[in-house]
Every structure is written in C-alpha cells, then in structure tokens.
Amino acid sequence: VLSRKIADLGIYPAVDPLDSTSRILTPLIVGEQHYNTANRVKLILQRYKELQDIIAILGLDELSDEDKLTVSRARKVQRFLSQPFFVAEQFTGLKGVLVPIEDTIRGFNSIMDGEVDEYPEAAFNLVGTLEDAIAKGKKLMAAAQA
C-alpha cells in the first residue's frame, strides 16, 4: 500500500509495510530467515507507530531509554526500506542499485540488532547495502565535525 505520509518523509518507494500484505511471505516460500526478518521489521515499525502519539505530545526526551533506541532503530529501518531505482536515476541523480536479498536481510537484522546505532539515520536513506549506509554515515559524521 502506497503511503502519502511515507512519501512526505522522502522515502521512496513510499510503501507502508504495516498496511501491506503478501500471500507469499511465508517461511515455505521466502525461507525462515527472510520471514523472521520481515516480521521483526513489522514489529519495530509497529512499536514506533505506537510511540508517535507520545512523542507528539510529550516529546522524544520523555521516552524510556529502551523506547528511544526503538525509535532510532525503527527510523533507520524505515529509511533503509528506500531504494535507489535504476528507472529513477535521471530524477534523483543516484545510480540504481541491485542488492542481493541475503545482503538486504543481513542489513535489516544488523540495524535492528544495534550494530549500526552510531550512524545517523540519514545514512540509511536511498542506499543499497548496509556497507553503503555505513560509508555514507561516516561521511556525514565527518562533515558534521568539520
């Protein structure tokens, strides 16, 4: 399901994974690891969605440390869902990227497991692999310190 709210965040494709369903997302078809990762993604995004009202009323600072971490990781997951498409190169100025599914699954798990907590969420937008996000994150952090 396409979402204007996600498009407003500049995340493309603007697909809402919480409102979208797939009959082929079963362990028998996509495999156990893919299935489990997809469900973890949905769970963290659902928790983030639940926290958004609290954030809007009280602010991010009023959340517990655990919830702040959930929000940070969910926002990175959300941005990692964006994709630099080959067909959009002329509009975005970014080269299209084809990423093997195994790398994508590993990337999402690394984000949710906290392995890349030190990088800013902007590093995860419109990148291919997690390694691309890490490289982008290092550049963003270096630029912020300069």
Tell me: the pLDDT tens digits for 39-82? 999 999 999 999 999 999 999 999 999 999 999 999 999 999 99
Label residue 25 by pLDDT band (50, 70, 90): very high
- 32 vs 13, residue with greater confidence: 32
> Where residue 89 falls among pLDDT bands split at 50, 70, 90?
confident
Distance CA 109, CA 57 (A): 30
pLDDT exceeds cutoff 90 at 92: no
Look at residues 104, 131, 112, 134 and name the one whose alpha carbon lies nearest to residue 122. Answer: 134
Residue, of 90 and 6, whose pLDDT is higher? 6
Average pLDDT over residues 107-129: 98
Exposure b/e, 5-29, CB count within 10 A at least 16 = b: ebeeeebbebbbbeeeeeeeeeeee
Average pLDDT over residues 95-124: 97
pLDDT-wise least confident of 26-35, 55-64, 87-96, 116-125: 87-96
CA dist 13 and 23 (Å) reads 20
Percent of the chain past pLDDT 70, that is, above it, reads 100
Q: Does domain 25-145 have CATH number 1.10.1140.10?
A: yes
User: Is residue 138's pLDDT more than 90?
Assistant: yes
